[in-house]
């Protein structure tokens, strides 16, 4: 695997020099200062690429080139948004970018309810708790008819949770849920989120899928001629949230995308954490069966809890079964002769990073630990593979 780390640009507290010392050879980044839907110019791309290469690192993977909400909703403005997307792809291809990550989640990227959940060893992890989401949805967001989307026991627990929370705790929960992705181009207030959700009235999972296919049918032919593989990141969490549909949550969802749009430019960002939230996703099997379409790997593990909760586990722990995943990736690379870009995802905040400003999930030391563990795992599998031959 080609070892990379995500970098959020010049404002990231983790520097390029830090990343190079971790052993990574590549950078995964995006132009977060450019609003969603605007064109990424060649000049802006060139400045970022020169900065990365001056640090002795390579940039061939974008994460992410956002898909504007107009495209996801399939409104008339979608056509001009797609035109801008295509222009950005052309500009990226001119600078050697061959993998572009995107997602098709309405409004919010990954959602968590605690950005500093304390682990038994004192490190801090990201955590999702459905009861906390319901408390926010029912009592802070006050989405009409939200109670219909939760089991009665979750509603009762959410009512009790909200009643017991202080004003400060309620504010922290709101800010955590609204945080979305570190470096995200879109930010909402509670009122703005409610308004944005209401714009999705009438858009169910089938409509969202059709809008996704329309996007791919428009963009993939151009990406194919440019030598770019578009890789879709699965939903995180992989189920509907706040009444919004989500349509890239299972192997069947992804396989249907590949069947509908057969272009080799239509690929997958395999995220072990996102897929791993669902016990019905067979993670090694996804790599084995869909591996030819995988263009990028997010290797992390979650520990599933009761009532839909989960937290980010150490990279080799939790429910992912990382050894089996990496073994399938190694076999895939041997079969295809290509090295797939990989990054350790959502590391724990630990050691000196506990006292530093960090992007949630993207502190240096936790990811460096994950990268070292994954590197060692791959080398062990490689050695065993050659010995068996």
Active site residues: 233, 271, 298, 345-346, 362
In sign, the C-alpha dihedral spanning 312, 318, 319, 321 is: positive
The partner residues of 3 in beta bridges, in order of sequence, read: 342
Say which residues have a Cβ less than 8 Å from residue 336's Cβ, sequence separation at least 6: 291, 292
**Cβ atoms within 10 Å, residue 7:** 27
Name residue 230's beta-bridge partners: 100, 266
Q: How far is CA 355 from the centre of its chain?
A: 26
- Which pair of tokens denotes residue 187? 């930010």
Q: Are 27 and 76 within 8 A, CB to CB? A: no
Q: What angle do CA 215, 362, 266 make, to 5 degrees?
A: 20
Using omega within 30 degrees of 0 as the cis cutoff, is the peptide bond preceding 151 cis?
no
Residues 6+ apart with CB under 8 A from 223: 89, 100, 229, 230, 263, 265
Structure tokens at 260: 């509908």
What's the order of all strands across the beta sheet hosting 124-128?
A: 114-118, 124-128, 310-313, 301-304
Counting every residue written for the chain, the total comes to 389
Q: Give the SS3 label for residue 2.
A: strand
Pairing of strands 294-299, 266-271: parallel
Query: For residues 28 and 371, is the Cβ–Cβ distance under 8 A?
Result: no
* DSSP letter, residue 68: P
């Amino acid at each position: 695997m080609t070892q990379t780390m995500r970098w959020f640009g010049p404002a990231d507290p983790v520097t390029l020099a830090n990343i190079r010392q971790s052993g990574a050879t590549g950078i995964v980044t995006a132009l977060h200062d450019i609003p969603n839907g605007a064109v990424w110019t060649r000049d802006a791309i060139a400045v970022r690429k020169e900065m990365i290469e001056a640090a002795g690192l390579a940039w061939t993977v974008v994460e992410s080139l956002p898909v504007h909400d107009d495209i996801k909703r399939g409104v008339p403005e979608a056509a001009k948004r797609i035109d801008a997307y295509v222009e950005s792809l052309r500009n990226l291809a001119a600078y050697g970018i061959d993998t572009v990550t995107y997602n098709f989640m309405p409004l919010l990227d990954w959602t968590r309810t605690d950005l500093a959940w304390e682990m038994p060893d004192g490190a801090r992890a990201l955590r999702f708790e459905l009861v906390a989401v319901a408390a926010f949805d029912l009592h802070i967001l006050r989405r009409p008819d939200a109670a219909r989307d939760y089991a009665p026991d979750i509603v009762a627990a959410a009512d009790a949770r909200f009643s017991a929370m202080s004003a400060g705790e309620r504010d922290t929960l709101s800010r955590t849920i609204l945080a979305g992705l570190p470096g995200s181009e879109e930010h909402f207030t509670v009122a703005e989120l409610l308004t944005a959700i209401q714009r999705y009235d009438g858009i169910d999972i089938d409509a969202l899928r059709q809008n996704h296919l329309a996007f791919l049918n428009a963009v993939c032919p151009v990406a194919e001629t440019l030598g770019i593989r578009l890789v879709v990141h699965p939903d995180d969490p992989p189920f509907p949230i706040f009444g919004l549909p989500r349509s890239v949550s299972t192997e069947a969802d992804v396989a249907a995308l590949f069947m509908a749009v057969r272009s080799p430019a239509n690929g997958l960002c395999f995220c072990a954490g996102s897929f791993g939230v669902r016990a019905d996703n067979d993670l090694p099997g996804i790599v084995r069966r869909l591996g030819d379409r995988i263009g990028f790997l997010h290797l992390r593990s979650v520990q599933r809890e009761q009532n839909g909760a989960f937290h980010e586990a150490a990279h080799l722990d939790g429910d992912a079964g990382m050894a089996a995943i990496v073994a399938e990736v190694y076999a895939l690379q041997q079969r295809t002769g290509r090295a797939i870009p990989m990054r350790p995802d959502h590391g724990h905040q630990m050691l000196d990073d506990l006292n530093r400003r960090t992007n949630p999930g993207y502190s240096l030391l936790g990811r460096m630990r994950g990268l070292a563990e994954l590197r060692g795992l791959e080398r062990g599998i490689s050695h065993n593979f050659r010995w068996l031959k």
